[in-house]
Amino acid sequence: MPVFLNTADADFETAFAALLGAKREDSPDVDNVVAGIIADVRARGDAALVDLTQKFDRLVLTPETLRFSEEEIEALVAAVPAHERAALELAAERIRAYHARQMPEDAQWTDESGATLGWRWTPVSAAGLYVPGGLASYPSSVLMNAIPAKVAGVERLAMVVPTPDGVANPLVLLAARIAGVSEIYRIGGAQAVAALAYGTETIAPVDKITGPGNAFVAAAKRRVFGKVGIDMIAGPSEILVIADGDNDPDWIALDLLSQAEHDESAQSILITDSPAMAKAVVASVEKYLETLERRAIAGPSWRDYGAVIVVEDMDRAVALSNRVAPEHLELCVADPDALAEKITHAGAIFLGAWTPEAIGDYVGGPNHVLPTARSARFSSGLSVMDFVKRTTLAKMTPAALRSIGPAAETLAISESLEAHGLSVRARLSRLNE
């Protein structure tokens, strides 16, 4: 059974703190194995990739067949039904339109000292996209990772996706093609991350690696961080729904189950000011759990990590939600915009009962790669900003240096950095000659 809490209960604070602090993920310690795999790829390049792919994916490759050929991709994507292709294209178009608005602007200005200051944004040159194989191989994630990179202006986008026993997912390949991925390699695991970070004879190294993966992939990303940039390390998915009494309990139940069906460690939380709604949603969840295709996943998630919290009013709901800092937050209330104004920490907000979280997973436009495990307190979802970087600009005139240079010299001397001070003084002296 999920946890039932009521803010009116004497032990509420203790129980809520326990819910917040509960660890949902069991990360196996694979760090030593991963270190070995990375070292192997760095030492032997393609040969290591071939061996490791045979070992882990039961697939015999050669350096020449590590990469999907254009003909193979063509043949595979031709099998995708038209309505699925159309849905992917609609999603891609909407994601592209949303992310295009995120492009940051360059700036340059001259201040009262005569100094010209500013910054310029430039794209990362090459990005690598990790796509899991098997059950968690989602074409929507290909779009969500690749499109922001393309919008940012990344020239080269290399994708890796394991194909256990040689089985490829045509929709994943089609998504890659629609999104503008330049190269696709049929490798996965820590070895694929190592290949992207360090390069091999066949695969040129990239500057940034994004995309979700299992414990091996996560550990490999942590290890190559610094050599290349990485996105966040994603934890299990979460949703928090704030709902008033005027809702269809089935809608709310299905939204909660949308997270629960991802992963046994996923977490779904309902906060409501209506005890009757709480009861009705729980009953509806139980009803759907009888028949849901993924009930073997969604059931344990709901029973082990689900929570239903009854609050005295919506301000309390907001306060609790801000402490959770949920990845996904649905506001199924009469005036969702007003409530959203009070939210200080959340990855994505879905406003009103007509906006199921699943819309955001596919076709809404915003990114579905979002901060988990309370990290919305300090981080944001994936965006164009993850694929650009800022170079700051400063230009002094002699007059500007005369105006602000002496202060720099004073601070340099106070920090015992003589050469810093002298580099300013040498120029100031010229002005006094």
**Sites for a copy of itself among residues 299-338 (CB under 8 A):** 336-337
Selected from 182, 202, 274, 423, the binder of a copy of itself by CB under 8 A is 423
Look up residue 204 and give its amino acid.
Answer: A
Instruction: Give 398-413 as a DSSP string.
Output: HHHHHHHHHHHHHHHH
Looking only at residues 87 through 146 of this chain, which bind a copy of itself when binding is defined by CB under 8 A?
Answer: 87-88, 90-91, 94, 97-98, 101, 104, 107, 109, 111, 115-117, 119-120, 122, 124-125, 135, 138-140
List the catalytic residue out of 183, 264, 327, 330.
Answer: 327
Kindly indicate which of the ranges 63-71, 84-92, 177-185, 273-281 contains the residues binding a copy of itself, using the contact rule CB under 8 A.
84-92
Label each residue of 16-54 as H, E or C: HHHHHHCCCCCCCCCHHHHHHHHHHHHHHCHHHHHHHHH
The CA distance from 383 to 8, in Å, is 40
Hey, how many other C-beta atoms are within 10 angstroms of the C-beta on 368?
A: 24
Eight-state DSSP code of residue 69: P
**Helices 275-289 and 295-305 meet at what angle, rounded to 10?**
150
Q: Is 422 among the residues that bind a copy of itself (CB under 8 A)?
A: yes
Residue 267 in marked binding region = no
Q: Is 248 among the residues that bind a copy of itself (CB under 8 A)?
A: yes
Kindly indicate which of the ranges 12-20, 39-47, 248-256, 304-312 contains the residues binding a copy of itself, using the contact rule CB under 8 A.
248-256
Residue 214 in marked binding region = yes
Active site residue 327: yes
* Enclosing H/E stretch for 349: strand 348-351
Task: Give the residue among 198, 233, 197 at the shortest CA–CA distance from 212.
Answer: 233
Q: Is 39 among the residues that bind a copy of itself (CB under 8 A)?
A: no
Q: β-strand 388-395 against 238-243: which pairing, if any?
A: unpaired
CA distances from 342 to 7, 255, 300, 323, 336 (A): 19, 22, 32, 12, 10
Active site residue 328: yes
The CA distance from 152 to 329, in Å, is 27
Residue 273 in marked binding region = no
Between 414 and 432, whose beta carbon lies closer to a copy of itself? Answer: 414
Selected from 40, 46, 183, 207, the binder of a copy of itself by CB under 8 A is 207
Residue 138 in marked binding region = no
Residue 51 CB, shortest distance to a copy of itself, in Å, is: 26
- Residue 31 is encoded by which pair of tokens? 């760090």
Nearest 5 degrees, angle CA 79-CA 85-CA 88? 135
Selected from 293, 318, 320, 432, the binder of a copy of itself by CB under 8 A is 293
Looking only at residues 150 through 189 of this chain, which bind a copy of itself when binding is defined by CB under 8 A?
Answer: 171
Selected from 344, 384, 432, 433, the binder of a copy of itself by CB under 8 A is 344
Residue 328 in marked binding region = yes
Residue 72 CB, shortest distance to a copy of itself, in Å, is: 20
Residue 200 CB, shortest distance to a copy of itself, in Å, is: 16
Residue 344 CB, shortest distance to a copy of itself, in Å, is: 5
Q: The tokens 């997912």 sit on which residue?
A: 169
- Residue 5 is encoded by which pair of tokens? 């809490």
Please identify every residue annotated as catalytic.
327-328
User: Which residues make up each annotated binding site for Zn(2+)?
Assistant: 259, 262, 361, 420
User: Which residues make up each annotated binding site?
Assistant: 130, 191, 214, 237, 259, 262, 328, 361, 415, 420
